[in-house]
Structure 1
Amino acid sequence: MPNSSPSPSPMAINVVAPAPSMFKKRSSQSAAPMASAASYLSALSQADARARNTRAPTATPALSLSSSVTSSSEDTVLHDSDFDNSDGLSLPARPPTSEQVFTTVHTEFGHCANEEYRLVSQHTAGEPLPAHVEQDPPYYILLSTYISYLILIVIGHIRDFLGKRFSPKFYTHLVPRNGYAPLNSDFDSFYTRRLKTRMDECFSQPVTGVAGRTILLLDRISPDYNHTQILTGTRTRALNISSYNYLGFAQARGGCADAVEESIRRYGVSTCGNRLEGGSSDLHTVTEALVAEFVGMEDALISSMGFATNSAYIPALVGKGCLVISDELNHASIRFGTRLSGANVRMFKHNDMRSLENLLREVISQGQPKTHRPWKKILLIVEGLYSMEGTLVNLPVILELKKKYKFYLFVDEAHSIGALGPHGRGVADYFGVNPRSIDILMGTFTKSFGAAGGYIAGNKALIDRLRIRGHLGPYAEAMTPPVLTQVLASMASIMGIATPSPADSTALVPASHPAPASPSSLPPWLTLPPLLSSGTEGRSRLRRLAFNSRYLHHGLAKLGFITYGHPASPIVPLLLFNPGKMNMFHRMMKDRQTPIIVVVVAYPATPLVTSRVRFCVSAAHTKEDVDCVLRACDEVGDVLDLKHGIPKRERWDIERIVSSAVELATS
């Protein structure tokens, strides 16, 4: 496979899209072509800041039909002096324009004024959830994929055999030396050495700054086939379609960032003021109460790490004599926690409700192994949104089975909380069911909320038990005040903050889930800008995410690609299959005139022959950003022979897809 290099690949496609660029300005003033995009976007950010400091118009301005807009102030005219030659990203010379003054930085959260590019994330009542269908490519694709792995394995073992004899200095970590055992097992490290190392250009890409709408890459090269990586000192600004920044709260500036700065002034960075017993503080108590209010549960507890939330609290829920029924594609943290618990484990086919019901009948009738005594407890663990497949749990059917077979239900909402539902409250909100019909809700703050850590929510008796029996209570570090404040601010921005009733200044708007956050549930010093505190911007972000997700999903399908997942999912996997195409897809997307950074996923995170690129859509993306991704995929897909989803006669050309975005998203 090709070495990592910042220079364009010979196969890279540098074609400027024929559609009108989002980086243009209607002005009679001329601007010379810019030297680079990092400087361009930096100057654009400065123009945004100047525009935000200007007085707002007295009347509501007309909104441009363009989906990518910024202030119309003449401050936004950029000249040669505004740029430096730091990354080589070539984009058109003029910034976007609109009569509206936006409060976000365009590089972090894209300006979008067109209300047509909005949708509500909600399941249609009465309609069955589409089943997960794994579409197979033509046989020659599968055959070439298997042959590629066979060639890789055979040549890899030959190189190991000859290398140990003729170049032993490169294999010292695999053989005993000086009476010590080898550092690595030859067989266990084979995949890492012979495949992953050759693809390390796709993984662990160093970045700096905010992973928002765009991201700043630190360029690197490798002179020794990725065994070492050398930073070149240059940087590349790229469109970011690879971060779990679902609602775009990964921002260095804005209402949430201001709240975090205030918390640092009050509490510090790593210590908590007013510390209480167990390593918590008043800020922890407030956050847990707001999380419970947000998800519609009686109580909640928070932890400093999402992975540990599952692995440390599942053993406190079940033990010996209990049964855990797990979806076959559940996350590694669930599998790890289940192993630690000592409970018996049975798995059912992914999202297959018939397989689940057959398993339930079997385990209930047979009881525990050998003794056949009834199970002490049966706990079904599923995910709300599966991060590798982009599929949604069939929650309505599972709740019907729960009433019939009387098991406990644990739903991991790491990826669905904040990203799904008309109010952003997760899969229960998306399907319109009462969240308290679910026994345990788990989620993380690392995706939609731009923070870190996780939570468990349920009834008060359960949460009180977990505080005592869970390993994280006595052993783990507490979440820091800045992280807690980010959770509070972003969650309150999604919920909106209730206002006093006109009839009684002390009475709040009646709370019925999902409801706005009551002012008493937030720290008195935490203030948010009007657009955030009213929930207006939070609702807009939810609707933008829903549109972008459906548009990209349907657009890729119409182009002819094989994709997985539900159209409402912000995770859109595109199947690559052949291992040689993973590195090339990543390189060709990054080497375009407008670089696009993507995530390539391979074994062992996926089955061996279903390697994929996983697009992560954000509310921070504009419609033009999704257009850019679709155009790039269209061109790269033709070169790498990736279009095997639908017959050629049924495919749409890219211009038809771009012009029919609203039709596709609402279909």
Structure 2
Amino acid sequence: MAIRSRTPSSGGSQSMFKKRSTQSLSPTMASAASYLSAVSQADARARTARSPTPTPTATPALSFASTTSSEPTTDIDELDEDDEKFISPLSVPFRPPTSEQVFNTVHTEFGHCASEEFRLTSAHKPGAPIHGHVDKDPPYYILLSTYISYLVLICLGHMRDFLGKRFHPKAYRHLMPHDGYASLNSDFDSFYTRRLKVRMDECFAQPVTGVAGRTIVLLDRVSLDYNRTQVPTGNKTRALNISSYNYLGFAQARGGCADVVEEAIKRYGISTCGSRLEGGTSELHTVAEELVARFVGAEDALISSMGFATNSTIIPALVGKGCLVISDELNHSSIRFGVRQSGAHVRMFRHNDMRSLESLLREVISQGQPKTHRPWKKIMLIVEGLYSMEGTMVNLPAIMNLKESYKFYLFVDEAHSIGAIGPNGRGIADYFGIDPRSIDILMGTFTKSFGAAGGYIAGKKDVIDRLRVKGYSGTYAEAMSIPLLSQVIASMASIMGVTTPTVSSSNSSSTIAIRSHAANGNGHLTDDEYHHPGPVSSKILPSWMTLPPELSSGEEGRTRLRRLAFNSFYLHRGLDKLGFITYGHPASPIVPLILFNPGKMMMFHRMMKDREVPIVVVVVAYPATPLITTRVRFCVSASHTKEDIDCVLRACDEIGDIMDLKHGLAPADRWSIDEICDRAVELVSLPEA
């Protein structure tokens, strides 16, 4: 059912995480569990082929029996790894087959886990402290060796440049003036790329195929010229994927959402007609914008075809000359680009430091505009709900208190927090229990939790109406394509749940009633009232869009949210207890593990990928992070099982000892890896320090 790292002496059971073979699976299985797994997969195909109505491919109410069926089966030789519902036999208990216990999801895309112990609600506990970002320093010898490694790199690199330009000028032609032309690149500006990144390109831009779900298939490659070029070997490796932003696991090739996308393509086609104002707007655009507004609890929303463009084209429509933007120092580059384009004055405060923010607010309000000291036309604070490199969460309650006192506008970028945190998956405001209408602008993307692409801006209706006219993305950008729109609608409705018009949509005593115009299945607008947070009326969705019961009820969406919360807490606190230095909030699905020395990046990446159970990770270094805080960034998903996180922790424990990475807790305060795995539920339930 799940994966676990093993030593060679642990037996010869097969795993789906292995080098790809061109032969079919052998009918001679290594264990009773693996045999039963293959029988179940063949049986599911046979029953699907015989059934007049296909079995829904989205995970229903989950149970542990992912390997069982009592009905007749087809020949096991017909199993194919590309169409794989194969269950890793590691740690799968042998149980008698029962016909009621059959999973419909592909286990390689979304892990089967039925235990309610491995669930957690993502919500801030009243009275719990809200900590800002805290840099954790390693021992001095780690910092010293890191600086020395950079010093050696710089000295040797410039020496090679000096000698190379004289003895191998053809290799440095792009860095030297020639034939009356200036050099294409500056040798100083490109030094980091040429002398460090190229040597570590094995870690980056790995070619993959298939769905980036619980597992992913890598196209193996080698380099014979120090990573200047990469040569495919023709082999494939299926690895545990702990590197994708697939937070809720909706990036699936099969399932209820995939069926909706397929139906949308049949009805509308796959492309758009151009920009929104040139005929690209369809019924689905109206439905998607209405659904997004209800999902986040705003009056109206505007969608864009690209997340980066959402910030960079909308911010100039919100502020301009004579306005002030106060920005967190670790805000995303799309925010920085948008602010520069706007012409507004910008000031930054220390990351998530409320004292620094309040001090800056007092200064800028009292001093006014530079030179003239006139009052600012507008002051807008821009922060992120969840910071992608640090894993930290904005202190929204403190910011709301400052907003009440200093009267500024608030722009929250929820690219990573929307759909990933909060008891209802509604983002940072949901996590802290704050009215989303008190936030002036809510921005988010569809590329993470919703398994699509694009972004949105939500807020008051008069503001959104103005942005439709003044924002560049609405006038000049391409409209979102039909497959993306249908994926967004289906996944978002799966999180919210869908009710019939006769059923009350209020599910909480603290709901927000939003009166708005809703698009029905024919594209006509009708008055409707929605209570936030809660399920959406079926009148909003297109009449042809039918979700399986497990998705339309919202049950699977809630399960995915709770699985993600458990996995995030478990991995974060497990790494802490092993003694690693990590950053971020334990509720964050982004878990940075600090390596410090850049030379350890490729070693960590290679040792994780070369294990018996390969694991794919993302390593990040300068300039995306400060020079000495090189890190590996784990991205947790609801598609991971508890055993998957066990596997990652065991791998980190072994590699951390080899590479000397455990500089967090003192040895006396650490837990053993077996203790962490056995006491996972207790570990996740520990109160915040």
Q: TM-score, structure 2 length as denominator?
A: 0.87
**Residue of structure 2 equivalent to 1:71:** 68
Q: State whether structure 2 residue 544 is matched by structure 1 residue 525.
A: yes
Q: Retained in 2: the 8 A contact 1:500–1:508?
A: no
Structure 2 distance, partners of 1:481, 1:83, is 31
Q: Retained in 1: the 8 A contact 2:42–2:76?
A: no
Q: 1:125-136 residue pairs with structure 2 within 5 A?
A: 125-136=126-137
Structure 1 distance, partners of 2:220, 2:486, is 33
Structure 2 unaligned residues grouped into runs of 5+: 17-25, 506-519, 521-525
Q: Mark the CA change 1:62 to 1:587 in structure 2 (over 3 Å): closer, same or farther.
A: closer
Q: State whether structure 2 residue 556 is matched by structure 1 residue 537.
A: yes
**Residue of structure 1 equivalent to 2:573:** 554
**Residue of structure 1 equivalent to 2:514:** none
Q: Mark the CA change 1:489 to 1:456 in structure 2 (over 3 Å): closer, same or farther.
A: same
**Residue of structure 1 equivalent to 2:434:** 433
Structure 1 unaligned residues grouped into runs of 5+: 1-12
**Residue of structure 1 equivalent to 2:614:** 595
Give the superposed CA RMSD: 3.3
Q: Which string of whole-angstrom CA distances, capped at 9 and with x for unpartnered residues, describes residues 239-282 of structure 1? A: 00000000000100000000000000011011359987563121
Q: Which string of whole-angstrom CA distances, capped at 9 and with x for unpartnered residues, describes residues 91-112 of structure 1? A: 7589777752122110000011
**Residue of structure 1 equivalent to 2:327:** 326
**Residue of structure 2 equivalent to 1:15:** 7
Q: 1:305-454 residue pairs with structure 2 within 5 A?
A: 305-454=306-455
Q: Identity over the aligned pairs, expressed in percent?
A: 71
Q: Retained in 1: the 8 A contact 2:12–2:30?
A: no
**Residue of structure 1 equivalent to 2:242:** 241
**Residue of structure 2 equivalent to 1:612:** 631
Structure 2 distance, partners of 1:234, 1:651, is 40
Q: Retained in 2: the 8 A contact 1:272–1:281?
A: no
Q: Retained in 2: the 8 A contact 1:325–1:348?
A: yes
**Residue of structure 2 equivalent to 1:253:** 254
Structure 2 distance, partners of 1:162, 1:550, is 52
Q: Retained in 2: the 8 A contact 1:108–1:213?
A: yes
Q: Retained in 2: the 8 A contact 1:47–1:76?
A: yes
Structure 2 distance, partners of 1:54, 1:546, is 39
Where 1:521 maps in the other structure, the secondary structure is: coil
Q: Which string of whole-angstrom CA distances, capped at 9 and with x for unpartnered residues, describes residues 139-174 of structure 1? A: 000000000111011000111111111111211111
Q: Retained in 2: the 8 A contact 1:52–1:103?
A: no
**Residue of structure 1 equivalent to 2:510:** none
Q: TM-score, structure 1 length as denominator?
A: 0.90
Where 1:558 maps in the other structure, the secondary structure is: helix
Q: State whether structure 2 residue 267 is matched by structure 1 residue 266.
A: yes
Structure 2 distance, partners of 1:43, 1:167, is 62
How much has 1:90 moved relative to structure 2?
13
- Mean Cα displacement is larger for which, 515-524 or 193-202? 515-524
**Residue of structure 2 equivalent to 1:188:** 189
Q: Retained in 2: the 8 A contact 1:70–1:111?
A: no
Q: Retained in 1: the 8 A contact 2:275–2:475?
A: no
Structure 1 distance, partners of 2:73, 2:447, is 34
Where 1:116 maps in the other structure, the secondary structure is: helix
* Equivalent residue pairs, number: 640
1:514 aligns with one of 522, 526, 533: 533
Structure 2 distance, partners of 1:475, 1:149, is 44
Q: Which string of whole-angstrom CA distances, capped at 9 and with x for unpartnered residues, describes residues 286-310 of structure 1? A: 1101000100000000000000000
Q: State whether structure 2 residue 461 is matched by structure 1 residue 473.
A: no
Q: Which string of whole-angstrom CA distances, capped at 9 and with x for unpartnered residues, describes residues 325-362 of structure 1? A: 00000000000100100101100011011110000000
Q: Retained in 2: the 8 A contact 1:326–1:347?
A: yes
Q: Mark the CA change 1:293 to 1:18 in structure 2 (over 3 Å): closer, same or farther.
A: farther
Q: Mark the CA change 1:662 to 1:434 in structure 2 (over 3 Å): closer, same or farther.
A: same
How much has 1:62 moved relative to structure 2?
12
Q: Retained in 1: the 8 A contact 2:223–2:229?
A: yes
Amino acid aligned to 1:515: G
Q: Which string of whole-angstrom CA distances, capped at 9 and with x for unpartnered residues, describes residues 170-215 of structure 1? A: 1111111222221211111100000000000000000000000000
Q: Mark the CA change 1:424 to 1:600 in structure 2 (over 3 Å): closer, same or farther.
A: same
Q: Which string of whole-angstrom CA distances, capped at 9 and with x for unpartnered residues, describes residues 104-143 of structure 1? A: 1100000111111111000012323122211100000000
Q: Mark the CA change 1:42 to 1:459 in structure 2 (over 3 Å): closer, same or farther.
A: farther
**Residue of structure 2 equivalent to 1:197:** 198
Amino acid aligned to 1:547: F
Structure 2 distance, partners of 1:63, 1:473, is 42
**Residue of structure 2 equivalent to 1:498:** 499
Q: Retained in 1: the 8 A contact 2:275–2:477?
A: no
Where 2:604 maps in the other structure, the secondary structure is: helix
How much has 1:518 moved relative to structure 2?
1.1
Structure 2 distance, partners of 1:503, 1:617, is 34
Where 2:116 maps in the other structure, the secondary structure is: coil
Q: Mark the CA change 1:502 to 1:362 in structure 2 (over 3 Å): closer, same or farther.
A: closer
Where 2:111 maps in the other structure, the secondary structure is: coil
Structure 2 distance, partners of 1:137, 1:76, is 57
Q: Retained in 2: the 8 A contact 1:498–1:509?
A: no
Where 1:107 maps in the other structure, the secondary structure is: coil
Q: State whether structure 2 residue 462 is matched by structure 1 residue 461.
A: yes
Amino acid aligned to 2:420: A
Q: Which string of whole-angstrom CA distances, capped at 9 and with x for unpartnered residues, describes residues 360-404 of structure 1? A: 000000000000000000000000000000010100110010010
**Residue of structure 2 equivalent to 1:118:** 119
1:585 aligns with one of 604, 611, 616: 604
Structure 1 distance, partners of 2:400, 2:190, is 43
Q: Mark the CA change 1:113 to 1:472 in structure 2 (over 3 Å): closer, same or farther.
A: same
Where 1:452 maps in the other structure, the secondary structure is: coil
**Residue of structure 2 equivalent to 1:216:** 217
How much has 1:77 moved relative to structure 2?
10
**Residue of structure 2 equivalent to 1:633:** 652
Amino acid aligned to 2:127: G
Amino acid aligned to 1:346: R
Structure 2 distance, partners of 1:483, 1:17, is 47
Q: Mark the CA change 1:247 to 1:22 in structure 2 (over 3 Å): closer, same or farther.
A: farther
**Residue of structure 2 equivalent to 1:4:** none
**Residue of structure 2 equivalent to 1:286:** 287
How much has 1:50 moved relative to structure 2?
4.8
**Residue of structure 2 equivalent to 1:575:** 594
Amino acid aligned to 2:235: T
Q: Which string of whole-angstrom CA distances, capped at 9 and with x for unpartnered residues, describes residues 471-521 of structure 1? A: 1111100001110000000000000001243799x9999732001111111
Q: 1:161-180 residue pairs with structure 2 within 5 A?
A: 161-180=162-181
Q: Retained in 2: the 8 A contact 1:326–1:346?
A: yes
**Residue of structure 2 equivalent to 1:147:** 148
Where 1:420 maps in the other structure, the secondary structure is: coil
Amino acid aligned to 2:243: S
- Mean Cα displacement is larger for which, 534-543 or 163-172? 163-172
**Residue of structure 2 equivalent to 1:3:** none
**Residue of structure 1 equivalent to 2:642:** 623
Amino acid aligned to 2:472: H
**Residue of structure 2 equivalent to 1:642:** 661
Q: Mark the CA change 1:427 to 1:229 in structure 2 (over 3 Å): closer, same or farther.
A: same
Q: Retained in 2: the 8 A contact 1:43–1:82?
A: no
Q: Which string of whole-angstrom CA distances, capped at 9 and with x for unpartnered residues, describes residues 527-585 of structure 1? A: 00000001010000000000000000000000000000000000000000001100000
Q: Mark the CA change 1:47 to 1:371 in structure 2 (over 3 Å): closer, same or farther.
A: farther
**Residue of structure 2 equivalent to 1:9:** none
Structure 2 distance, partners of 1:249, 1:432, is 25
